[in-house]
Structure 1
């Protein structure tokens, strides 16, 4: 059966050299991976982290968001995207989604804002861009941070701009096993504000300023103060090398997925199985190909019978008691009951 997800792995000619180099962290490839990411996004405010969760923690700490604060988020997201906020002691207020796209409904977001709201976390469901200009405008108007949850949206575009360059205060990316690019595990963040970006570099390394941390003998310098809370979140050389190599083919893989999406567009048009998830002026990365159907279970079974591993991918997080909010959200229910994804990855034609 053609899988819905499949990790890409390039030839890794120097992996053994790195493993036995004695330099497994903070070396050439972490810096090189970050430089390639900065070139891809044409920004100088991109950092990497060793996990997606740590990328979120660094982001929240850099923005000054913590225990007792509230954030507004979509329950139509991966648990990896939502659980970190709970572990920081942040209260999540669920907002409804547009039932046609699975992304945040700007009008409903407005209704959820309280004096405790510090950020809106904007998930771009399965790589399909949400209402970026509308959500970003709310943040600007209300003085609330906007955090793009780009766990599945690397390379997705809206209004001819890559998500991450749209004006959000921070955009958090995953480099997990089934992402493009993947580093087996890892994450990254683009910050809008240069000072917050510089602050985040210290936060991801236990608050340490490496230019001052050691003296001329290489000993820890007691005069180097640590005045920021931080994390051990630096990406190691092995993971960074994998990402470094993948950046050379990232556009090729994204283009292959978009070509596959055109084939699915024609298939749905000819067979009237479902309605593709689509919005004007957006360009998904087609991590998966999404559609809305009348009978979700039957459609999944039909595609699987034909050799395509179809799935609903995620379930709405407000069903989980850990979040303490099982509010009924009509758009979420409608979307979750109708959404089906089929494989659209770079491997589709070669396996099919």
Structure 2
């Protein structure tokens, strides 16, 4: 049996007619930049996040950078974040002219440890970027308390967590701003790159809208150094067709996650660590990530058996070569480094079949001789 990491074909076939009709409408209108489809998506995603403003941009990486720039982060500032994340999180900080300060993670959730955040605050700290990794929110309630205490901005990197909640509060509600990615593999994915920032702060929202169009307002009059980062009208049209299905897809992911956990516990007991969902949290399972011994050997074996897996992320940001001048060394953030050696993400998408999950678990059990 072949089990892909992700298969978008069934989702597309179910929505094909609507998507093609919507794309044709855009092309017939000849309005390709910041048109009605972008505006609708901005409004809908903002409402979904329980905030007032949505600002579409070219991708999730730009979304973080724009949010930081709008919040006044620049040269001489420090931004505290997690090293156990995709490069875009740390890269956006440096692109804004600031210095990333990496702190360790919670070993159960993979998310940034608020206690470590508070320990790292200095007079140079301007902002914190928590990453809601794999689909579960970081502890925003505690982080919001820390941010208020020290006068910090919080930019939530929610690229993997659209629809996630903590005690009933959505991504974006407790931070200064939150950023989404619509990369095709995301829970709400476009057919190319796309991103969005959501915020309740009207002044910040206006700054972000200006930054994404070369810093101009009105057109050809430039007051800040912005750049070209606009959500494409065609991608917004696709996303508007997909968006009404998002909650159903999230529930499907949660069902698949529960099935994985049940099957893995039945076959392997405590031999592997299954994902931990904190009480009061709503995890949307962008990834279903286990922690295992002999991770690389297991991945190779599963690949031989037709099971695709991914390692998110094999080398934490604090020891990436590009950040060597920051002075971090192997051993500085041991929980993140251990997670990077043990984490393995299994196939996860809403249309995943039970027999595929059973096959994946069977092959894992075979590897460990269970």
Normalising by structure 2, what TM-score? 0.85
Instruction: Determine if contact 2:50/2:172 at 8 Å carries over to the other structure.
Output: no
Does the alignment pair 1:138 with 2:142? no
Greater CA deviation, 189-198 or 258-267? 189-198
- 1:77-226 to structure 2, matched below 5 A, reads 77-165=85-173, 167-183=174-190, 184-209=192-217, 213=219, 226=222
CA RMSD of aligned residues (A): 2.1
Q: Which has the higher helix share?
A: 2
The alpha-carbon deviation at position 81 of structure 1 amounts to 2.4
- What is the rounded CA distance, in whole Å, between the counterparts of 2:89 and 2:259 in structure 1? 30
The alpha-carbon deviation at position 107 of structure 1 amounts to 1.8
Return the match for 2:272 from 274, 286, 289: 274
The count of aligned residue pairs is 339
Greater CA deviation, 253-262 or 155-164? 155-164
**SS of 1:190's equivalent?**
strand
Residue in 2 aligned with 1:28? 36
Residue in 1 aligned with 2:239? 243
The alpha-carbon deviation at position 303 of structure 1 amounts to 4.2
Residue in 2 aligned with 1:230? 226
Once the two structures are superposed, residues 244-285 of structure 1 have per-residue CA deviations (whole angstroms, 9 ceiling, x without a partner) of 111121112111111111101211220224222212222211
Instruction: Determine if contact 1:48/1:188 at 8 Å carries over to the other structure.
Output: yes
CA gap of 1:239–1:340, structure 2 versus 1, over 3 A, is same
Once the two structures are superposed, residues 30-55 of structure 1 have per-residue CA deviations (whole angstroms, 9 ceiling, x without a partner) of 11211221332232222111122221
**SS of 1:247's equivalent?**
helix
Structure 1: 5+ residue runs without aligned partners? 214-219
Once the two structures are superposed, residues 185-222 of structure 1 have per-residue CA deviations (whole angstroms, 9 ceiling, x without a partner) of 11111123222123222222233345xx5xxxxxx7xx
CA gap of 1:45–1:187, structure 2 versus 1, over 3 A, is same
- What is the rounded CA distance, in whole Å, between the counterparts of 2:288 and 2:116 in structure 1? 26
Return the match for 1:262 from 258, 262, 265: 258
The alpha-carbon deviation at position 72 of structure 1 amounts to 1.0
Instruction: Determine if contact 1:268/1:275 at 8 Å carries over to the other structure.
Output: no
**SS of 2:29's equivalent?**
coil
Instruction: Determine if contact 1:127/1:287 at 8 Å carries over to the other structure.
Output: yes
Residue in 1 aligned with 2:352? 348
Instruction: Determine if contact 2:68/2:155 at 8 Å carries over to the other structure.
Output: no
Residue in 2 aligned with 1:320? 320
Residue in 1 aligned with 2:360? none
Residue in 2 aligned with 1:309? 308
Does the alignment pair 1:336 with 2:340? yes
Instruction: Determine if contact 1:101/1:335 at 8 Å carries over to the other structure.
Output: no
Structure 2: 5+ residue runs without aligned partners? 357-370
Instruction: Determine if contact 2:69/2:96 at 8 Å carries over to the other structure.
Output: no
Residue in 1 aligned with 2:3? 2
Instruction: Determine if contact 1:81/1:151 at 8 Å carries over to the other structure.
Output: no
